[in-house]
Structures are given as C-alpha cells and as structure tokens.
Amino acid sequence: MELPLLNAPARSCGTCTLCCKVMGVHDLVPKEKPAMVWCTHCKIGKGCSIYDSRPASCRSYACMWLQGSFPENAKPDRIKAAFATCILDIDGESVTVIGCFKDSSSTDVKDRRIAALVTAVIDNGYPLLVVAGDARKLLFPDSVPLDKRIKIRDALYHRS
C-alpha cells in the first residue's frame, strides 16, 4: 500500500472523536488531559464542545486517516486506533515516525483492521510507535540501522 504523507485534512471527522480519548492533551487548561480517558469537553461521536477555544495541540492535530493517507474504511473509530506522524530531529536529520494510538491496553497489532496499516507503515520505510495506554512498542523497517534505532527510541521516550 502506498502511504502518501499529506499535511492538510482531506476528509472530515464526522462521528469520529477517537483522538479525544486516546491522545493526551498537554495544553488543555486548567488541567492536562491524560491519554486513554475521554476529554471532558468531548461530546462522544459528535465533536468538541469548546471547538472555538480548543487548545493549540487539538487545532493542529490531524490523524493520517483525516489527511487521506489511509483508505476510507480505516477510519479511527472503526479500527479503534488513530495514526499520526511525528517529526524527530536525529543528528540534524528530520526523521518521520508514525504513532499508532490504540483504544486498547494491548500493543498487539495482529488485529486485521490494524495489521494492514502497520505493514504499510513499515513497508514504506517509517518507524512505528504503538501506544496503548501506558504500554508502548517500537517497530522498525529493516532499513533502519541499529544506532539510528537507539537514537529514535531515546528521542521518543525522552519527549514523552
């Protein structure tokens, strides 16, 4: 599967509000929202009750399905996972890592709804960080050398 990385929403969220549960929101006031709990401002399946004043991180967030990188039938509320890109600076090189934020306590990616997307991410040469609550798993394409894997892991785990 080709995996074009786009940077503008090409679809609309519709009834999906999954990222308002699976993602942490560090700049929500007065209190940060942890991952894997519904945001108190979320009208589940409808949208954000503070849309006009939502935090900057919510304004800038667009999952890969919303950007049109994934097939129509891979909508996050259907597959129970939201994928998003993250750019790291590794020794002056911009490295794209893709995060898979699962609505689950398991980082297992064998579920057929998710497995094809995980394969596409890896086959297209991107490292993948699977996040399921407090659990994480980092997967790499064979093309990424060991020293770079260690730097990517350190950068990801240091920032969170």
| Contact set with ligand SF4 (CB under 6 A) | 13, 16-20, 25, 28, 39, 41-42, 48, 50, 54-55, 58, 62-63, 65-66, 76, 82
The minimum distance between CB 66 and ligand SF4, in angstroms, equals 4
The minimum distance between CB 71 and ligand SF4, in angstroms, equals 13
| Nearer residue to ligand SF4 within complex by CB, 27 or 154 | 27
| Nearer residue to ligand SF4 within complex by CB, 71 or 141 | 71
The minimum distance between CB 117 and ligand SF4, in angstroms, equals 13
Query: Where would I find the H helices in 56-111?
Result: 56-60, 76-79
**For residues 84 and 107, what is the distance between their CA atoms, to the nearest angstrom?**
16
Strand partners of residue 85: 98
The minimum distance between CB 73 and ligand SF4, in angstroms, equals 13
| Nearer residue to ligand SF4 within complex by CB, 64 or 152 | 64
| Nearer residue to ligand SF4 within complex by CB, 7 or 143 | 7
Instruction: Give Rg (Cα) of the chain.
Output: 15
The minimum distance between CB 151 and ligand SF4, in angstroms, equals 29
| Nearer residue to ligand SF4 within complex by CB, 42 or 156 | 42
Contacts 24+ apart (CB under 8 A), 12-17: 12/66, 13/47, 13/66, 14/75, 15/45, 15/46, 15/77, 16/45, 16/75, 16/76, 16/77, 17/42, 17/43, 17/44, 17/45, 17/46, 17/47, 17/48, 17/77
CB contact at 8 A, 48 and 42:
yes
